[in-house]
């Protein structure tokens, strides 16, 4: 399934680009993510913990920056992972592009994702709309964390990038996604 998301950061595109390519610095902004190994400058191994009601999933995998176009401020990342208990896997191709806002004082990060789920894990994502809503919530949380880190860095505060983000609580994310979906359908 394919879907698009975006978030804004209060930095000019060149600075936002440096932040986004600093995977070690921003990895823990992704809810439930933990960076476990830096293989090389473009390849990273990690884990993502997800709780969907009573079901706890833990994906171990790898993310690799396959294409980086510094001039156009575009990047492509391939992320693969498998559930530790063998319940399925995921394969995602994620494209990032930057767009200047406010006459270049801020940046919109546009994200296009092509995600494939396999095995029993795919049952949890039967509806493409639900997966899109959950992804939108995760990107929103990632953007909020990144903006907080940027503000702290600007104030001279020392960052703790080793602290892993809390595991994704699928139930709360799904409930929020359902509420927002209902609000959108009522207003549309």
- Indicate which CATH number applies to the domain containing 180: 3.30.530.20
State yes or no: pLDDT of 157 exceeds 70.
yes
More confident residue, 57 or 174: 57
Q: pLDDT at position 48, please?
A: 87
**What does the pLDDT read at residue 32?**
86
Alpha helices in the chain (DSSP H): 13-20, 23-26, 121-124, 128-154, 170-187
Predicted TM-score of the model (pTM)? 0.81
CB 138 within 8 A of CB 168: yes
CB 83 within 8 A of CB 119: yes
Domains of the chain: total: 1
Quote the domain boundaries for residue 179.
2-187
Q: What is the mean pLDDT of residues 10-30?
A: 94
The secondary structure of residue 163, as a DSSP letter, is S
Distances (CA, A) of 75 to 3, 66, 111, 132: 16, 8, 10, 21
d(CA 163, CA 160): 6
pLDDT, mean of residues 57-74: 94
pLDDT beyond 80 at 84: yes
Looking at every residue in the chain, the average pLDDT score rounds to 84
When pLDDT is averaged across residues 107-111 and rounded to a whole number, the result is 97
Q: d(Cα 159, Cα 181) in Å, to the nearest integer?
A: 35
Among 9-18, 105-114, 152-161, whose mean pLDDT is lowest? Answer: 152-161
């Amino acid at each position: 399934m394919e879907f698009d998301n975006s978030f804004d950061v209060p930095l000019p595109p060149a600075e936002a680009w440096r932040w986004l390519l600093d995977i070690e610095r921003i990895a823990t902004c992704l809810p439930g993510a933990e960076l476990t190994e830096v293989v090389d400058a473009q390849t990273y191994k990690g884990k993502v913990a997800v709780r969907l009601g009573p079901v706890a999933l833990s994906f171990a995998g790898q993310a690799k920056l396959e294409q980086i176009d510094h001039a156009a401020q575009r990047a492509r990342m391939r992320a693969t992972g498998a559930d530790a208990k063998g319940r399925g896997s995921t394969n995602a191709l994620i494209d990032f592009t930057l767009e200047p806002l406010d006459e270049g004082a801020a940046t919109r990060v546009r994200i296009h994702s092509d995600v494939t789920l396999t095995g029993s894990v795919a049952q949890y994502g039967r509806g493409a709309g639900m997966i899109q809503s959950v992804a939108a919530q995760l990107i929103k949380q990632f953007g909020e964390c990144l903006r907080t880190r940027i503000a702290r860095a600007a104030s001279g505060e020392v960052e703790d990038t080793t602290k892993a983000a809390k595991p994704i609580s699928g139930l709360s994310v799904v409930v929020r996604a359902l509420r927002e979906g209902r609000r959108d359908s009522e207003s549309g």
